[in-house]
Amino acid sequence: MKKYSGIPELLEQYMVENGADERWVTVHELRQWFGLTRYQYNTISGFLRRLEFGTFGQCPYIVLRIEKVERTSPSDPPKCRYLVKRKNMAPAHVPGMIHHTDQLALRKADSGEFG
């Protein structure tokens, strides 16, 4: 996890500051936003690619899709954009299973309380 030190937090900050739960992001945008060096490009790109295949620690985002961006000239390096989305953090409700809120409702019903 040391390889991506600080990048999950930067991604989360970027998404929060832009008020988005889902949006297209490029490494160039992240570099410009945070004033990062071009030497951090591969690390950021590698982290975003890793999010396409699953979660990373406590990072609340995943990458749904990666698309290549068209080059403006043949000498430009290849670039990608990443569709970043906040993971659904709510626990799944399994039918027949008693959850905390269900238990609270049952206790209120047993005591004769409403609401």
For residue range 14-65, list pLDDT tens digits in order.
999 999 899 999 999 999 999 988 888 888 999 999 998 877 777 889 999 9
- According to DSSP, the β-strands at 79-86 and 22-26 are antiparallel
The domain locations on the chain are 2-89
CA distances from 41 to 26, 28, 30, 33, 114 (A): 10, 8, 9, 13, 57
What is the secondary structure of 22-60 as a DSSP string? EEEEEHHHHHHHHT--GGGHHHHHHHHHHHHSS--TT--
Look up the pTM and report it.
0.69
Q: Helix, strand or coil for residue 79?
A: strand
Q: Give 52-108 pLDDT, tens digit per residue.
A: 887 777 788 999 999 998 888 888 888 899 999 998 755 445 455 454 444 444 444
